[in-house]
Structure 1
């Protein structure tokens, strides 16, 4: 079945307990390129060294908390030899270094998204580990600051505008659910933040300490644009 990002997004919006498993993406990179019109080929931008193309990069980042990494690309039959090419080239006639190909494919993702897809989602789902916060580095006044977002939603595309001190990011949940986010912001970037979802003001809680401002808010399911604003002078 050919991959279709709009169809997959629709399923993830409809079913809150559904995950997308990458193991079904077939025809991994071979010399000199993936099999034409294969699922793997459709994901890549050959002009960008086989990394995710724009469409699929957006899909993987938007739904980063709902994607599980898996691959059956090892070559050979169904015995031990099938797994021996994951990080090496022990089996002739099969794609070598399968994990390396996946790392290259996902290497243009935001680091939070790559971490979740490659390991954190599986640890949370199967080992019941706590999901790590999303951490983003932003700049203001020639200095770098870290903004963190703790949420069970998929969080992506966080930006900070130093001229307006507005923070924007995208969250994705299934329809019919309620999401929440706790955003921790260095006090140097502002305090007394207010929140809006898809351009409409929503209730939020903002508390400040000597070092950070913490903003908590809820939002309806779906793919939502979150904006936090504060007076221009912190």
Structure 2
């Protein structure tokens, strides 16, 4: 039979183990909560969770190098179309930029895809993809490698009553790399694996589209 001292020692040891176990459980819970906070607020939705630089183009143009492209953002406009007899009021956010094809890997002609530029509403809302690059008045205009930059615009769908003193555009860049050959994929590198590069802030002006120029 166990002596009284053995029983007391066992009780003390159990309490010590229980106390340390509780501390470890609390620490684990804190770590899990922190991970969830980063996951749900990270990326571009909240500034606290961003891992990419935030650049301001409020007072001057800003240039961002992203994958095979070099973008120089110049201005943003909220273009409002008043309602008329046949249609409701609407609005579109138009961002102006210069795009240069810097694809030194493949030297291929390409267009600015809509997913490379995204409006970042913040406040937990989903990012909004653009409609792509419109250059020389043509959507998805093909830009040749090595030529001077093209003046382009891109548009984002926004509510008719959208208003903002400052908007943010997220810039996506592709990486020139191969797939994992161990999995049977080709080991030849190519442009893919999109990743966030930067967030550009612009102060939009408001323009009323009366349709007179059409």
**Which TM class, normalised by the smaller chain length?**
under 0.3
Scaled by the length of structure 2, the TM-score of the pair is 0.23
Q: Which has the higher contact order (CA 8 A, sep 6+)?
A: 2
- Would you tell me which structure has more helix in proportion to its own residues? 1
CA radius of gyration, larger in: 2
Scaled by the length of structure 1, the TM-score of the pair is 0.21
